[in-house]
Amino acid sequence: MKRMIFLATGAAALLAFSACDKKTSDDLKQKAEDAKQKVERKAKEAKEAADRQIEKAKPKLEELGDKAKEATKDAQPKLEQLGKKAKNATQDAIDKTKQAAGSAVENLKNATSASPAGASPTPTP
């Protein structure tokens, strides 16, 4: 009899526990669903806020783009002028190099023609 009471009590406890477990499981499912909805709502709000900021920034971006175009137009003649100066400087450097090479060749010719004609390239003993 004691054993039957013990088994009945155990069975009742198991039924109560499983009912409690079911309730806990349902509560957890509900909490998970609530959390999912909250995350979705926050994500939607964040996207909407980002979209508003993008729309708010578009005029500034267009203004900066226009300023950049103007700066490019202003800089183009200056860049062309600098390009011409660089080209002229390069040509001057080429000309001076040619002159220096020609002068060196002339100096070498003059130095070899001024040496004695009958001189032997080997020293005499």
pLDDT score at 45: 93
Cα separation, 116 vs 112, whole angstroms: 9
3-class DSSP state of 78 = helix
Reported as a single tens digit per residue, the pLDDT across 65-92 is 899 988 888 888 888 999 999 999 999 9
Reported as a single tens digit per residue, the pLDDT across 86-116 is 999 999 999 999 898 888 888 888 878 765 5
Cβ neighbour number for residue 19 with a 10 Å cutoff: 10
Indicate the pLDDT class of residue 47, thresholds 50, 70 and 90.
Answer: very high
Cα separation, 8 vs 3, whole angstroms: 8
* pTM, two decimal places: 0.39
